[in-house]
């Protein structure tokens, strides 16, 4: 197997290609290849620095890394939309072409097999196709009036876009995180105004967004400590209620049966410390 070499990866894909009949698909593929070739020509990419492979409704371009990515980016941001608009303005409504575009980079190995056209392999190439076919990019194109949408890989964004080279505005790119087959992938989509766009995956919560909760807000108190039993407030008036046990006042104990009513009458034996008062009204000292 040949050793992998670094390449710039450029992918184009037609939106909703399978909804059209054979005649329409043939015309749309011709438009696709015209847009790809004209874009690369205006970016100054020579045929000797380029490898094209057909993918049915998409095209894979592998470009020599010596071609500056800034030139490719500027062509994709300005030339590609203009070229595509030129074709669509004279095409029938049934053959309008809208494109998802991905610019990435990484290691790619040529793996040709006799009798088979094309053949390249590589982790970075696989990840680029994950971006091309992601719901995030499909949604970005579906929700806008533009006829194309551009997505760049994390390596292209960090290495080129974020530095703000002439003609490239990093604030026009928004981050997306995609649940790829091999794990999450971070990329950047042009035209989102710098807002973080996180595609909602089934059963997951978008990062940075907290869903409403039925639980009460945290108070800083342990949740497993039971609350103190709440007793009803005593009724108005002079009556005092004791709900079980023997009441005490500053160390003095009231024992036995007592009935306390408004007006201060007490029946039963009352003990205050070591002094006993009979209900009959006589006082006896107890030692």
What domains sit in the chain, N to C, each tagged with a CATH number?
5-190 (3.30.70.1230), 233-287 (no CATH)
Predicted local confidence at residue 76, as pLDDT: 98
Q: Output the pTM of the full model.
A: 0.68
Distance CA 29, CA 23 (A): 10
Distance CA 37, CA 57 (A): 15
Residue 15: how many other CB atoms lie within 10 Å: 18
Q: In the predicted model, what is the mean pLDDT of residues 96-124?
A: 91
pLDDT surpasses 90 at 201:
no
Q: In the predicted model, what is the mean pLDDT of residues 15-39?
A: 96
pLDDT surpasses 90 at 199:
no
Mean pLDDT of the chain: 78
Contacts 24+ apart (CB under 8 A), 22-27: 24/94, 24/95, 25/57, 27/91, 27/95
More confident residue, 72 or 232: 72
pLDDT bracket for residue 196 (50, 70, 90):
very low
Predicted local confidence at residue 278, as pLDDT: 52
Predicted local confidence at residue 268, as pLDDT: 57
More confident residue, 259 or 104: 104
Q: In the predicted model, what is the mean pLDDT of residues 30-44?
A: 97
Between the CA of residue 7 and those of 138, 144, 180, what are the distances in Å? 25, 30, 21
Predicted local confidence at residue 132, as pLDDT: 96
What's the chain's length in residues?
Answer: 287
Residue 174: how many other CB atoms lie within 10 Å: 19
Instruction: List pLDDT tens digits, range 218-269.
Output: 444 444 444 444 445 544 544 455 455 555 444 444 455 554 444 455 555 5
Biggest CA pair distance of the chain: 125
pLDDT surpasses 50 at 51:
yes
pLDDT bracket for residue 205 (50, 70, 90):
very low
Predicted local confidence at residue 244, as pLDDT: 52
Hey, which bits of the chain come out as E strands? 5-14, 50-54, 58-63, 99-110, 120-121, 148-153, 173-180, 183-190, 248-249, 252-253, 259-260, 266-267, 270-272, 275-277, 283-285
Q: Within 118-204, where are the H helices?
A: 123-132, 135-142, 154-159
3-state helix, strand, coil in the chain (%, to 5): 30, 25, 45
Q: How many CA atoms lie within 13 A of 235 on its CB side?
A: 8
pLDDT surpasses 80 at 197:
no
């Amino acid at each position: 197997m040949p050793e992998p070499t670094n390449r710039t990866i450029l992918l184009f894909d037609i939106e909703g290609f399978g909804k059209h009949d054979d005649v329409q698909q043939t015309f749309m593929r011709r438009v696709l290849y015209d847009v790809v070739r004209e874009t690369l020509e205006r970016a100054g990419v020579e045929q000797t620095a380029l490898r094209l492979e057909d993918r049915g409704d998409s095209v894979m371009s592998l470009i020599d890394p010596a071609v500056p990515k800034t030139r490719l980016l500027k062509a994709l941001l300005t030339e590609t939309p203009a070229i595509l608009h030129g074709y669509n303005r004279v095409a029938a409504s049934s053959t309008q072409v809208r494109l998802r575009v991905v610019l990435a980079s990484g290691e790619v190995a040529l793996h040709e097999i006799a009798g088979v056209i094309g053949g390249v392999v590589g982790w970075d190439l696989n990840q680029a196709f994950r971006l091309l076919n992601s719901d995030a990019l499909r949604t970005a194109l579906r929700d806008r009036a533009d006829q194309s949408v551009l997505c760049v890989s994390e390596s292209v964004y960090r290495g080129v876009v974020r530095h703000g080279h002439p003609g490239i505005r990093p604030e026009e790119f928004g981050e997306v995180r995609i649940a790829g087959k091999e794990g999450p992938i971070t990329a950047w989509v042009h035209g989102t105004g710098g807002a973080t766009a996180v595609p909602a995956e089934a059963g997951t919560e978008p990062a940075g967004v907290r869903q409403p909760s039925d639980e009460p807000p945290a108070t800083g108190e342990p949740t497993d400590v039971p609350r103190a039993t709440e007793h009803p407030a005593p009724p108005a008036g002079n009556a005092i209620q004791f709900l079980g046990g023997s009441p005490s006042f500053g160390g003095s104990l009231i024992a036995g049966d007592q009935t306390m009513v408004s007006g201060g009458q007490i029946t039963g034996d009352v003990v205050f410390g070591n002094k006993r008062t009979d209900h009959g009204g006589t006082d006896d000292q107890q030692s």
